[in-house]
Amino acid sequence: MIEMDQKQNFDIKLNEKNNISIQIPDNWIVLQELIPRYYRPKRYIPDVIKSSLNNPFGTKKLEELLKNKKNVVIISDDQTRPTPVYDLISILVKKLNDCGISNHNIKIIVGKGLHPAPNDREIKAKFKDLPDKFPFFIHNPDKDFKLLGTTTSKVPVEINKKVVNADFIISLGTIMPHELTGFSGGAAIIVPGVASRKTIRLNHSLLFKINSNSYFGNLEGNQVRLDMEEAAKFVNLDFIVNVMLDNYGNIFEVFTGNYKEAHKKGADSFKDHYGIEIQDKADICIITSYPRYKTIGKGLKALFVADLLTKENGTIICFITAENGISASETFKELLLKNLKVAELLALLKKGELPGEACVLYLFTKIKQKRIIIITQEQYKEELKQIGLQYTKNFEEAVKLLDDGSKKSVYVVPEGINLLPII
């Protein structure tokens, strides 16, 4: 966090190669320039992984847990998450072998929830040669699941049979702020990861409950997260291996053990490292979508950070270079362009007619109650209008739309979204 004096000129990071300089009007008062802290791993990464496996949170060591166990399932997140799965599994399997589990008794399941299945290129990029070495499966939310019970929130827990039938379940994931579950990782590998479409839909619909507390960076009383954790208890998720990544995508810390305690430790560590305390919300937040700048859809993630920084009637100015278009997902692009209202999203979600992006669309719709200006390529001008956002070709044009001569408080986030505002 950098306290501001009278600085009005800032460099905004657009992508790895390009920055742009912006000049804030003199009558706009910059409260703070919010810059993510940058960390580098202090130790050799394999040593960090091995040390964490030997010192789990909230549970016994693997050597004790795996006694009399034969069949192990490792559930990995999918291509939409940055988890360096190959590095983790390579070390984890050696540990399992040392505990008496042979490779042919280890299955790998990609817990994709309702996301599109990874293609061959994506599988190769994330898993390399692992599909050739182990039984390898991609979860299908529409078949081969078993009902284990019903949660307190009346969500049926229907889970992939291969997971249910395993003697021991290990999950892999990354802990970072998430717009629905507070933080990714932990029990989310079960629901939505390897759950049925019905289970995922009903779990996500808890977002619409009054006081669901299901929002970006929040675990406290988060109804969607609590339901996921209850489902993981039905499944008996035995052990998690969750990582926190640095700003460059490298493993920075590893949290292993109980799916609640280890995950909570990871979320708290993220707040300690990347949380930035703010005193007041601002009239305007100027933010870049870096490092998620390649599509409009990915870039919109920056809005969840900006939303925490702006007043209810505030304005968000967001830079997204978007060289790869609106979205890599045709389904998500189609839904974005429909510009559905909250009531329409709720109705479709209850009917089970929305994919996994439904929760993002709902929360995005809520954020759109604020004024949002996207600075990007002119070719997206009409599509942004369809989505319900304003387009400008540069920052100066955005200023002309907003500057009425009055004083306005401002936050500037010049290096993207690797931070968590804490009020």
Task: Give pLDDT tens digits for 74-131.
Answer: 999 999 899 999 999 999 999 999 999 999 999 999 999 988 899 999 999 999 999 9
pLDDT of 3 above 50: no
pLDDT at 413: 96
DSSP bridge pairs for 315: 284, 371
pLDDT of 147 above 50: yes
Q: Where are the beta strands (DSSP E) in 145-298?
A: 145-150, 156-160, 168-174, 177-178, 182-183, 239-245, 251-257, 275-277, 282-288
Question: Among 43-57, 301-315, 338-352, 373-387, which stretch is predicted with the lowest mean pLDDT?
Answer: 338-352
Higher model confidence: residue 1 or residue 205? Answer: 205
φ, ψ for residue 16 (rounded to 5)?
-60, -25
Placement of tokens 């510009």 in the chain = 339
Once rounded to an integer, what is the mean pLDDT over residues 307-325?
95
Q: What is the pLDDT of residues 91-103, one digit of tens each?
A: 999 999 999 999 9
Higher model confidence: residue 352 or residue 154? Answer: 154
- Mean per-residue pLDDT over the chain, rounded: 92
* Complete edge-to-edge strand list for the sheet that includes strand 2-3: 2-3, 28-33, 408-413, 282-288, 310-319, 371-375, 390-392
pLDDT at 2: 42
Kindly list the domain boundaries of the chain, sorted by start residue. Answer: 2-34+278-422, 45-272
Superfamily name and number for 2-34+278-422 = LarA, C-terminal domain (3.90.226.30)
Once rounded to an integer, what is the mean pLDDT over residues 294-304?
90
Once rounded to an integer, what is the mean pLDDT over residues 387-406?
95
pLDDT at 371: 95
Q: 45-272: which CATH number, 3.40.50.11440, 3.65.10.10, 3.40.50.300, 3.40.190.10?
A: 3.40.50.11440
pLDDT of 397 above 90: yes
pLDDT of 330 above 90: no
What band does 7 get if pLDDT is binned at 50, 70 and 90? Answer: confident
Q: What is the pLDDT of residues 11-33, one digit of tens each?
A: 999 998 999 999 999 999 999 99
What band does 377 get if pLDDT is binned at 50, 70 and 90? Answer: very high
Of 299, 270, 275, the C-alpha closest to 375 is 299
* Residues of the chain above pLDDT 90, percent: 75
Once rounded to an integer, what is the mean pLDDT over residues 213-231?
95
Q: How far apart are CA 136 and CA 281, in angstroms?
A: 47
pLDDT at 75: 98
Placement of tokens 């990874």 in the chain = 118
Higher model confidence: residue 319 or residue 330? Answer: 319
pLDDT at 318: 97
pLDDT of 155 above 50: yes
pLDDT of 136 above 90: yes
Q: Look up residue 113 and give its two tokens.
A: 């929830």
Q: What is the pLDDT of residues 341-369, one digit of tens each?
A: 877 877 776 665 665 555 566 667 778 88
Q: Look up residue 256 and give its two tokens.
A: 């292993």
pLDDT of 6 above 70: no
The amino acid at residue 336 is L
What band does 173 get if pLDDT is binned at 50, 70 and 90? Answer: very high
